[in-house]
Structure 1
């Protein structure tokens, strides 16, 4: 659109866009690159492209495998959240085999996954993402903000022990900051909790279809509970500390709510099965999905579109657009209809055929190995570029709006908020925190939700601990149910990886895997422009983000862009894997003396 100029007025100077790239993005795992065009005159990002340079290949080499190996193989998709993949794969196999685990097995699995949320969110939030808000970083990018932080009293100083906002920032300095080091110790405790329930981290050794191989004893749960209560006490410091920090940024930088802002398009697939309801039958999936301890749901502009896992499943579409693949429209259809008789789309994961097509990167055509998962909204006829907000904001938002979760005084979903109650600990009294649905889906609120969900996961663990001990006291110590693998079957599993939505879809033919597609959160968040030109969530959130950094183009750090991208908790191993091309072989020669690549 041409700019209208008033008669006699001098014409506006031409806009000069500066191309800047961050490839790879640091403090994450994987090969994520962010390419931008920045308008320093208007102080905003004009364009953004999210790229990933390595191919995802698990869907190909899963073919022909024994279905019982699926969770062991898919857990290797990622060295960060491999247990989430193993769990989701087990859910998928439970459906395909028609097996229901004993209640105690489910409570143990829930305890393991709760520990994973506590471990990973704590490590990422306090030791990776929080570095963007530490004193050293703020001094380099916004010295004026640091000056104000020195003069600003922390409202919750009595709870967390830091008098000013600047004191909080100093405590976040890598390795030297007190809070930074304390968080590292908490991560260790949380990982130990996980290993007690699932054997080892991050690839579980005691997790199987039909339940778990964990030996359930009172001592096992006591060891877990001791560590859990220390973590609960730590949360009573973490939540008020981050509330003070994030509230300060809104105060110090008016307009900062626009950093990382995008329309509220959130997806959550639900987490923590309730064994009293869940039987893994597809035909009852709506009922047991709503009984999850984190409610599944799709949210558009603060409206909860659905909580029905059947609807969520059938709406998933894998589009291509700007990614390095050929379409599979003319390939075989594996599943025409679901077990309820509903038609299944050709671009649903059950029917996907992965056809890689390596090529030169071109931002006008194809530029990434990440596909474009979308959810088809039948009401509007649109393919929604859902994001997970890094996981917690979508989980809390869906759970809050649905109002279905009420866990014996630990957690209450109210319809507009989630109340989290943590009991008395060694040094601190009982507390109640309330996560309220925010005004925006933006960088700061994604980070804030991650803090609250750590407390949520701790409260879920306390609830599951009560349930598990009740099973043991009642003499119900069985943790695994036998099963057989059918010759022909389909299955799907829905779970929340740490970073958000996770689904696995499997087709079994002649007792072997004929088709298998895992879709973790990163392909959703890092997806690229689809066939309709709709940008993916990273791209959408970075585009039009205002620039508050005080540095000019010559010394630009891109801190507002980095806070935006890292608020989604990127983890590219789930999105991509290595592709060398047919007939090529990668060889690494190691020194016999030092074992290092030559």
Structure 2
């Protein structure tokens, strides 16, 4: 049952404290100040994406994390490049918001302008856009599971940080060796070794395969210029679709193998030390706008977004503290607020007459809604600020986003269209992957009892099957459309439903990246960009404390994380692997470093969180 709106607002106000009271201790404030000074002294053009610095204060005697502050290290501000531009340039510019996720940003921008301008893409263009999204998800999930986060559970790391667990792994039989081929847990850990492990190297091959499939339909990767408002510019026929389907066929058994490997690893780790259940532990508060539009229902209109939203192959929904709170796309958008209480950013005051108070269907929105947000690079004078990021909340509650959120929300909401490939039960997601002349692969992911670091990554492993099931559904839709002569892939920008009397037009592209939901908001004035705002998943998860003094999602997970590493004697040989595993479970998409302040001293340990990879030789 969905939570009532009044209940949501009231629970957000519980234990509200004065936001002007410093949240960080003097020692942590000094650490943040030092790190910010280092960042500002570096070349501002060297990393346009910015980065993340996760500052922690740890007690190595008590083996606990005392404080955590996730810090966006740069003012991004690329939204300021868009006001006044020709609408045909918006997608190309906004896609550069990410160096690795250009396609999903281009799509979010296209959806945003379709809504503002009244453009309805043709069904075949919608399906091709869905297939491009699936390719990017397949690529990024493989990268995270085995190239970025995977080595944190490898023989090289586990033997160094927890030799007692490595010894046990050598004696522990795998539960699912019949699915992945590894007899002992230690065998899996050896193949997770960075650079040399076969699982690491195999994942890079699968990443390459997914990107080749993307290029087949999208022209290039990651910044495909074929995605435009109104659909896509490239065409496809039955032959190209057949080639595309064949290219992705290896993912069928690979998705089963990946799920089995991570089921084995996490089940073993929990049996070896049940305290791993507290690693990155949080109440399940998740939000996603859904993705993969249904060609029979999507029309780009805000007036009908609750209808076409519930026909998406990933359900728009919010779960707050483990309870389903909303499945209405318009309400999810209307409830957004971006808070700058602990941010270095400064908000530009908007004249009262220009403040947007309601969305196009009459839902009230806040002055802090992204449609009402304008910022500049001038540094906020607040002594409590510690990040160039912000806190994005819904109805006063912060939330996590991620590939795992899609499984959890879709399973709980039970709204997805009927399909032979996937089914939501209310407590699980069931997948049936099949292909000609091959035995079908059947998997089921269950909503976990405890939400933590392992649960995030386990769900991400099953997200491979989710992505592939939706891909199969959309390939079938593409063939059906071609069979009836539906080959048009885009509507022209000049087909927009213009209204000369209407000055302001609102648009929002509610979409997703592999790391979680992605949104582009636009306010148009006489068909020119007046305001443009973007929310990206890594900055949502690494968001600051809320006005009610609730830590951001990553901060909260870290504060609940015990230090279970056993092999260190002092700070000099402390690897901070439990901190690293928790940060990696959020899959940050930009350079990320953990700065660990040892309690009772001035010693700071800096640990780079791996967001790159060793090339295969």
TM-score bracket, normalised by the shorter chain, equals 0.7 to 0.9
- 2:550 pairs with 515, 534, 537, which one? 534
Counterparts of 2:577 and 2:50, CA distance in 1:
20
- 1:501 pairs with 517, 520, 534, which one? 517
2:574 aligns with: 556
Counterparts of 1:407 and 1:305, CA distance in 2:
23
2:451 corresponds to 1:451: no
SS at match of 2:265: helix
1:77 aligns with: 97
TM-score for the superposition, normalised by structure 2? 0.85
- 2:409 pairs with 379, 398, 419, which one? 398
- Could you tell me whether the CA contact under 8 Å between 1:324 and 1:368 is conserved in 2? yes
2:446 aligns with: 436
2:222 aligns with: 202
1:371 aligns with: 390
Counterparts of 1:297 and 1:79, CA distance in 2:
28
2:526 corresponds to 1:516: no
1:387 aligns with: 400
Counterparts of 1:107 and 1:178, CA distance in 2:
35
1:357 aligns with: 378
SS at match of 2:249: helix
2:204 aligns with: 184
- 2:277 pairs with 257, 281, 293, which one? 257
2:45 aligns with: none
- Give me the CA root mean square deviation: 2.2
Counterparts of 2:546 and 2:350, CA distance in 1:
19
Seen in structure 2, the aligned counterparts of structure 1 residues 436 and 202 have a Cα distance that, compared at 3 Å, is: same
- 2:425 pairs with 411, 414, 424, which one? 414
- Could you tell me whether the CA contact under 8 Å between 2:79 and 2:94 is conserved in 1? no
- Could you tell me whether the CA contact under 8 Å between 2:389 and 2:539 is conserved in 1? yes
Counterparts of 2:390 and 2:204, CA distance in 1:
34
Point out the more displaced range, 166-175 or 523-532.
523-532
- Could you tell me whether the CA contact under 8 Å between 1:267 and 1:394 is conserved in 2? yes
1:267 aligns with: 287
Counterparts of 1:556 and 1:477, CA distance in 2:
59
Give the deviation of 1:573 after TM superposition.
Answer: 7.9
- Could you tell me whether the CA contact under 8 Å between 1:78 and 1:573 is conserved in 2? no
Give the deviation of 1:554 after TM superposition.
Answer: 2.7
- Could you tell me whether the CA contact under 8 Å between 1:233 and 1:425 is conserved in 2? no
- Structure 1 residue runs without a partner (length 5+): 1-16, 377-382, 575-598
The number of aligned residues is: 544
**1:481-500 map, 5 Å:** 481-484=491-494, 486=498, 488=503, 489-500=505-516
Give the deviation of 1:330 after TM superposition.
Answer: 5.2
SS at match of 2:521: strand
Question: Which whole-Å deviations, capped at 9, do the CAs of 1:503-551 have from their partners, x for residues lacking one?
Answer: 1111111321000001111221111123332211111110131010012
Seen in structure 2, the aligned counterparts of structure 1 residues 249 and 30 have a Cα distance that, compared at 3 Å, is: farther
- Could you tell me whether the CA contact under 8 Å between 1:321 and 1:532 is conserved in 2? no
TM-score for the superposition, normalised by structure 1? 0.87
- 2:560 pairs with 534, 544, 555, which one? 544
Counterparts of 2:362 and 2:105, CA distance in 1:
28
Seen in structure 2, the aligned counterparts of structure 1 residues 573 and 169 have a Cα distance that, compared at 3 Å, is: closer
2:236 corresponds to 1:216: yes
- 1:336 pairs with 354, 357, 364, which one? 357
1:227 aligns with: 247
SS at match of 1:293: coil
1:308 aligns with: 328
1:284 aligns with: 304
